[in-house]
Amino acid sequence: MAEAVVREARPDDLVASYEVVAACESPLYGRPQLTLEHFRNTWDLWTGFTATDRGEIVGTSAVRGDDIVVFVLPRARRRRIGTRLLHAAEEAAPLDVVQADAVTLEPAAAPFFRANGYEKVYEIWLMGVELAPEEPEPRWPEGVRVRTFRDEDAPDVKALLDLAYAAEPDYRPAPFEEWRRVMVGDPSFDAGVWFLAESDDGLAGAALNWREGYVKDLVVHPGWRRRGLGEALMRHTFRTFRGRGVERVTLKTDDVNPTQAWRLYERMGMRTERTWEVFEKRLRPAG
């Protein structure tokens, strides 16, 4: 059997690369996590590679910042294609330390990364809840008013996210225009479910949600924490989605979140539905 060819991805590889990702994710989740439109929106922000076998793309990998992803069609595995794709992405990585996620639904994922020098550093959890027919009204802290997002709010929202996430060990702020494209340009963006909590001093918090019922970001300004604002934003999110006919809300959090946000989500009835193990590898010596 001829060895697969690993090369840099080209613009015309987009659809075939997405089909590899979809073929890997569908057996695990029932359907791909992203649509082709979502995949297309950030395609050129990643440095990508493909593995071809007799002209067919059978694997893909990519790196963006410190994030690496690798996918190989099930029928093309056990031929070291994944390892070669991983090494290609590592060589293109702009940072000295990289990370990769391994969903626990795929039993081969964690051993693959460990065999390539990665160590587990933390976990990401998908949490979800079935919405009640009548969700409780939010209780807003005194001095706070809520409204939906306007285009001119983007710089202030980005500044709030950078401030709120600053204490998270792996947070690296993206350039504003890149963040705007990824968020406001996402196919699931809907300004009607981006909620901003304002005070006289500016933004106190925000819940940035995708239209399908996914909480992409929930952040509270450090000066407004422990006043119930996070819960109020979540209650407002729940009620809005229930009013739209959305029956479930999901989000992702992790076990290294310095605010221990999962405790709030558990109080609101959310439960862990899926786990990803995050693996890390140092590519070059420190310093």
pLDDT value of position 1: 55
Averaged over 192-199, what is the pLDDT? 98
Return the ∠ at Cα 73 (arms to 69 and 79), rounded to 5°. 90
**55, 21 contact by CB (below 8 A):** no
What's the Cα-to-Cα distance from 270 to each of 143, 262, 265, rounded to whole Å? 28, 9, 5
pLDDT value of position 220: 97
Q: For tokens 């605010």, what's the residue?
A: 259
Residue 141 has pLDDT above 90, yes or no: yes
What's the Cα-to-Cα distance from 104 to each of 101, 215, 272, rounded to whole Å? 10, 22, 13
pLDDT value of position 142: 96
CA distance 236 to 137: 7
**Fold that domain 132-246 belongs to in CATH:** Aminopeptidase (3.40.630)
Judge if 5-95 and 132-246 fold alike in CATH terms: yes
Averaged over 146-151, what is the pLDDT? 98
- Rounded to two decimals, the pTM is 0.94
pLDDT value of position 169: 79
Backbone angle region of 102, left / alpha / beta, with phi > 0 → left and psi within -120 to 50 → alpha: beta
**Can you identify the CATH homologous superfamily of domain 5-95?**
Gcn5-related N-acetyltransferase (GNAT) (3.40.630.30)
CA distance 45 to 84: 21
- How is the chain split into domains, by residue range? 5-95, 132-246
Residue 286: pLDDT band (50, 70, 90) is: confident
